[in-house]
Amino acid sequence: MTLTGLLGGSFNPAHRGHRKISRQALDALGLDEIWWLVSPGNPLKTGEGMAPLSARFASARTAARGLPIRVTAIERQLGTRYTADTLKALRRRFPDRHFVWLMGADNLAQFHKWKDWRKIARMVPIAVLARPGYKDDAQAARAMGWLRRFVRPAGQARHWTKWRLPALVLLDLPLDPTSATALRAARPGWHQKFPGTFQTTALRDGVTRRRLR
Ligand SMILES: Nc1ncnc2c1ncn2[C@@H]1O[C@H](COP(=O)(O)OP(=O)(O)OP(=O)(O)O)[C@@H](O)[C@H]1O
Ligand SMILES: O=C(O)c1ccc[n+]([C@@H]2O[C@H](COP(=O)([O-])O)[C@@H](O)[C@H]2O)c1
């Protein structure tokens, strides 16, 4: 079984914070690799100010360099937008992998708004990475009203494949203040550096190549 972390995101653009939390998750959870799922469109975001998938994907490829991270637009290939649907499809398609869902503390604060969020927690363990300014919001998250009883000690994080689900671990590791919102404000035209189409390798056996626009 390959131990695989899933970090879904808009990556508009990808940045040092994504890299940092991925390194932390690789280490704390003893992962073999992480897949960055570059979202065709977060269902809770309007799409305003969202760069094309091709540019976000390319920025993620650059940010992930040198780490055991696979950047993928698999939700585009699967035709899914909601994480619950993506996880259902991935678990069916990759039975030889153990998946853990990774997210920053800001997303835990919103988690109760996600489609079928309790089902998500029943499908995969969830690891929450600390983010500056979101410690209190994460603790007070509406979803925590239900999830709190399933919280596992961070010291046992490497045993996540053995956990009975639902299971949630809060990884309170050194913080990184980088945010895509701040980067976009500083460089609104960032995506012009990543023009055109891109190629993505389908994850199954790495043979199929698809051109996406
Ligand atoms: N600096 C960070 N610290 C902890 N988690 C982070 C950090 N940056 C991003 N994440 C997490 O990475 C995932 C993808 O984030 P995303 O691509 O939305 O970046 P972002 O910086 O949060 O973007 P935006 O500012 O546009 O909302 C989310 O789970 C988010 O919580
Ligand atoms: O499934 C949902 O309802 C849902 C609602 C909001 C966000 N998500 C997912 O959360 C991940 C983080 O999104 P973002 O835009 O905060 O980077 C990304 O994979 C989204 O598809 C999923």
| pLDDT for 210 | 43
Q: Which ligand is nearest to the CA of 6?
A: 2
Q: Which ligand is nearest to the CA of 176?
A: 1
Average pLDDT, integer, range 191-205:
64
153 C-alpha vs ligand 2 centroid, how far in Å? 25
Average pLDDT, integer, range 62-75:
97
ipTM value > 0.90: yes
Q: Residue 198 pLDDT more than 80?
A: no
Q: Tell me, using a 6 A CB cutoff, whether residue 5 lines ligand 2.
A: no
Query: For a pocket test of ligand 1, which of 16, 21, 110, 171 has the largest count of ligand atoms closer than 8 A to its C-beta?
Result: 21
Question: What confidence tens digit (pLDDT) does each residue in 17-58 have?
Answer: 999 999 999 999 999 999 999 999 999 999 899 999 999 999
157 C-alpha vs ligand 2 centroid, how far in Å? 23
User: What is the 3 state secondary structure string of the chain?
Assistant: CEEEEEEEECCCCCCHHHHHHHHHHHHHHCCCEEEEEECCCCCCCCCCCCCCHHHHHHHHHHHCCCCCEEEECHHHHHCCCCHHHHHHHHHHHCCCEEEEEEEEHHHHHHHHHCCCHHHHHHHCCEEEECCCCCHHHHHCCCCHHHHHHHEECHHHHHHHHHCCCCCEEEECCCCCCCCHHHHHHHCCCHHHHCCCCEEEECCCCCCCEEEEC
- Kindly give the number of the ligand 2 atom that is closest to the alpha carbon of 9: 17
Query: What is the rounded average pLDDT for all residues in the chain?
Result: 92
Average pLDDT, integer, range 197-208:
48
Query: For a pocket test of ligand 1, which of 106, 126, 175 has the largest count of ligand atoms closer than 8 A to its C-beta?
Result: 106
| pLDDT for 203 | 52
97 C-alpha vs ligand 1 centroid, how far in Å? 25
Q: Tell me, using a 6 A CB cutoff, whether residue 129 lines ligand 1.
A: yes
Question: What confidence tens digit (pLDDT) does each residue in 106-149 have?
Answer: 999 999 999 999 999 999 999 999 999 999 999 999 999 999 99
Instruction: Determine the CATH number of domain 2-186.
Output: 3.40.50.620
Confidence class for position 206, pLDDT limits 50, 70, 90: very low
Q: Tell me, using a 6 A CB cutoff, whether residue 45 lines ligand 2.
A: yes
